[in-house]
Amino acid sequence: MASNKKEWLDWVKALVIAGVLAFVVRMFFFTPIVVDGLSMEPTLENGDHMIVNKISYNFGEPQRFDIVIFHATIQKDYIKRVIGLPGEHVAVQDDVLYINNQQVVEPFLEESKAQLTDKMYTEDFSLEQLPGGYETIPEGHVLVLGDNRGDSTDSRLLGLIPYDQLVGKAELLYWPLDRLRFVKD
């Protein structure tokens, strides 16, 4: 009888420890998200399930083309791609991205751009035209755009995103299984 009680207490302790560990990992290290909307197509699709690395920006800063999740509102997180970094000037002219007046290739858009024949994939804009009217991106901020430039609420409407609003970096797409892969920049 005493051994059954001890075995039962061992199971309870193991479950409590597992629960606490799962809570800590989810709160501070990794969290699952579900893509909601079309703004990152074709890279990410509506309903894709992903794992977000929440600690990556505790040890480093966002890099160009990282796919990030950030707090857009109190109730809503968005997923977008980092395009501009602190100290940079960003513009798009004639469907070409310019960082500090230097052309930058966006390989993740090539296929989508090739399918268009009669319009631009990304409407022309410059950093000065975005909310805030900055000439360069200030320290501690990034400029983000969705890969589906015609259907994305991003820095063109929201303005620059402060680092403290970043939840983390998308790392792994795990569902649906036929799309299982690490998310590349």
**b vs e for 147-180, b when ≥16 Cβ sit within 10 Å of the residue's Cβ?**
bbbeebebbbebebbeeebbbbbbbebeeeeeee
Question: Nearest CA to 161 among 65, 81, 41, 52?
Answer: 81
Catalytic residue among 3, 5, 6, 39: 39
Catalytic residue among 54, 80, 152, 169: 80
80 is catalytic: yes
- The strand pairing partners of 80, in sequence order, are 68
Quote the longest CA-to-CA distance of the chain: 80
155 is catalytic: no
Catalytic machinery residues: 39, 80
